[in-house]
Chain A
């Protein structure tokens, strides 16, 4: 049984496969940002509470600061960079824009991944269900209210003006 302090990992991110040598101790968020130059996912805390680093790993929403890069070897990851196609915003991104669901934009990538995961599982969520789905994503700018509206709008539900 091999115990390694670094190894080559192969990860697919937004459809592209990357192979890199990485230390076992490197967190997945730093691997994405520093090794793969995918700086869309962000770091907002150091205790796994803020969710700015949220990505979808093998179909499951996770905080990438709470995983080692080596744990993601062989996995398929989706980040914010994979949401739009050729610079065209997807309906969720457009809804965030329409509803002013972002101000500084720092929590937004993580928020979008959490909302993406929710809508795959629950295409027509209530406000409570939306709040539960983004409970692991801290925002300090918006107070979350417009984010509820944006996710609702993206799901095709009425939100008013």
Chain B
């Protein structure tokens, strides 16, 4: 670690117009009081009388037929309450709905492996017992007769002759493909001065490893046929859609309850198979059933991030570095099952050109299955992979053409005065000044002193490098993009719900539809409510967590995809404005004036012209709830307002693959400085700057926290975090011992800067943020490439650069350079 790990004061470069009120203030968090006292309620904290503990028996083989699963000995073990096997599951449930068109549509995915195991760690049976330890013990008595099959771990071999076939029903490992083409590639390449060819780039497999793993406590109410699922699934809307039909029950029979969740980052979206298993067991055993996913279980089986190969890339470029267009094949490794995939096959297109103005683009997307853990959204989902690709291309173009990476970016960045900007595939970037962000990042990192820093490093025997990573965090999905994957799908748009009510004693109660995992929803929602109602944030009670019984949710409810500041807060704003309107209407009736004469301030509804004529909120609440005789018959006031926020989207044009896929486009420009030890390949991040623009910031401290967290995760992904498999399909990093995440001593000094370019498309001028687009990965790859320039100019071709990879680049730069060629057409 460097001499100091201080984080500098945040630099606010540009701030949107500030109005008085809570929005824009770093209001202290409501969540903290319970969390710092250990009084948060996470799913594993909840207990039910008589509950049984589940242990999943998991396949030790990456690919094997399940000839038989015999639970008889396990059932005899004292303390065992029951079991569940794939054969039962195949009778009791239907396969999970597949998002994909054929052949992916034909996959038969159940909550336990049926007939075959397809990745190490795949659950093949479940044992329930009176204690956790007993369930674990008994699981060793389950006898599974495996017939091992050949294993496929490299996506590039998935389509080779004789490659092991994972799903007979699909008949191929290529479960989805799509060709995206916009503009005029032939024209672009005809106009090019140079064509840069890159044979292969690789975005590695990793995920965000939230500290709390997945899990649930499931109860079944036999009388009503309803399950209560106390869990940490972060997208209950999706889980319900997947589970209901599979279990052959209506969605209202699945009540999802969350309170505190220990991090999600997208990795808590696809727990629905295990939740179904728990539901079946709760019903079968007539008792609550509890499942805790241990760290190794999570690493082996849950939510790996998309691993993607970019093959045969060709980039059309002018002499001065102007980018005209590119074509590439994106080979995506989905793992053994499509649990949220193939949506990754279109979601990257939210940011097709990255931050750049090239207009002619072709991308062949091919997704294959392999004998590895199923992928699912991971912070930056699918856009991060694509933006890493565009950043590698910019950097390699600059290097190979002998141009300055800073100048090449500025030459090609979309300009602030071009906003809103329509990309080649019809996405509308709302606002942003990328060049200004880049200048700010360079300033924070001391770019002017770069050469003297380089010389100083050299005197200490180190190679110094500076890298830039510029990226976008597109937020608020238009689910209509799923039709580009499968035209038969009936999804489009998006929504989120909030309910705000005024209770009998004047309490303001807010119910969200979201499932926060640390994003401070209770706090920021209260800021929006307080500003509209003219009261203190302390007077606004926001219920913790999510409960579908509250009926304050809709089909897309949950917390994922960088959207709360737009959808969640949009719903809060809508509901509160409804409530405010009703409060004014009611007050006007009582005070004998028109609603326009009423203002809400200091916890009262009062006449603007005569503030003494005022009704405290308690009075309003009491009238509607307990004292409503004599009110006008047509007075339409309930003081309990539910609002569904709906972003303005059209269904995209499926033919042209054209249309706006996300509502907002937050931007990140990061700069990293590394020092490499050329003797060992070991490197240290010695300086780091992160500049962020997410439009209007409701709570700057919360935004900064997200920027820091995304930075730390990107650093981890770029350095040591990797889900690497051996050729037998064994995961070599199945726990925190081998999968090294950043610890406190690994953190570089950090400087942050903020620009506020409000979004013209959102009710608060906010943009969704939080995922961060992987800027740190892009910046570190560029920094390493810069540092190693003097040692044969190797090409950084992989997103993951642990010491051994840097060593390879140092030892044999020519090997990496074979991937790159510059031709003059």
Contacts and interface: CB of A to CB of B under 8 A. Distances in A.
Do chains A and B make direct contact within the complex (CB under 8 angstroms)?
Answer: yes
Interface of A: 23, 25-26, 30, 33-34, 37-47, 49-50, 52, 79-81, 83-84, 87, 89, 93, 96-98, 100, 102-109, 112, 127-128, 130-132, 134-149, 160-161
A144 B744 CA distance: 6
Interface in B690-705: 701-702, 704-705
Given A93-B36, A142-B705, A161-B9, A44 B743 contact: no
A105 B741 contact: no
A23 B208 CA distance: 35
A81 to B, nearest CB: 5
Given A100-B704, A104-B261, A148-B6, 7 more contacts: A100-B705, A104-B260, A104-B262, A140-B263, A143-B747, A144-B742, A145-B708
Contacts of A160: 9
B260 A105 contact: yes
Contacts of A112: 36
B38 A97 contact: no
B750 A143 contact: yes
A102 B38 contact: no
Nearest to B699: A100
Given A104-B263, A138-B743, A141-B263, A146 B5 contact: no
B132 interface: yes
- Chain B binding site: helix, strand, loop or mixed by DSSP? loop
A39 B7 contact: no
- Chain A binding site: helix, strand, loop or mixed by DSSP? loop
Contacts, number: 198
Interface of B: 1, 3-7, 9-10, 26, 28-29, 31-40, 42, 44-45, 47, 132-133, 208-213, 260-263, 265, 292, 294-296, 517-520, 701-702, 704-706, 708-709, 711-713, 735-737, 741-745, 747, 750
Contacts of B1: 128, 131
Contact of B736 (A49, A79, A98, A142): A49
A105 B40 contact: yes
Contacts of A42: 42, 44, 211-212, 262
A148 B742 CA distance: 15
12 contacts: A23-B133, A52-B211, A83-B37, A104-B210, A104-B517, A104-B518, A106-B260, A132-B744, A135-B744, A140-B208, A141-B518, A141-B709
A44 B37 contact: no
A93 B34 CA distance: 10
Contacts of A49: 735-737
B212 A44 contact: yes
Contacts of A107: 211, 262
Nearest to A152: B6
A108 B37 CA distance: 9
Contacts of B9: 160-161
A149 B4 CA distance: 12
Nearest to B711: A143
Contacts of A84: 36-37
A86 to B, nearest CB: 11
B211 A106 contact: yes
| Residue of A45, A109, A149 ringed by the most chain B CB atoms within 10 A | A45
A140 B741 contact: yes
Closest 6 pairs between A and B when the two form their complex, measured CB to CB: A40-B38, A106-B262, A105-B35, A104-B518, A143-B712, A103-B518
Contact of B265 (A140, A144, A145): A140
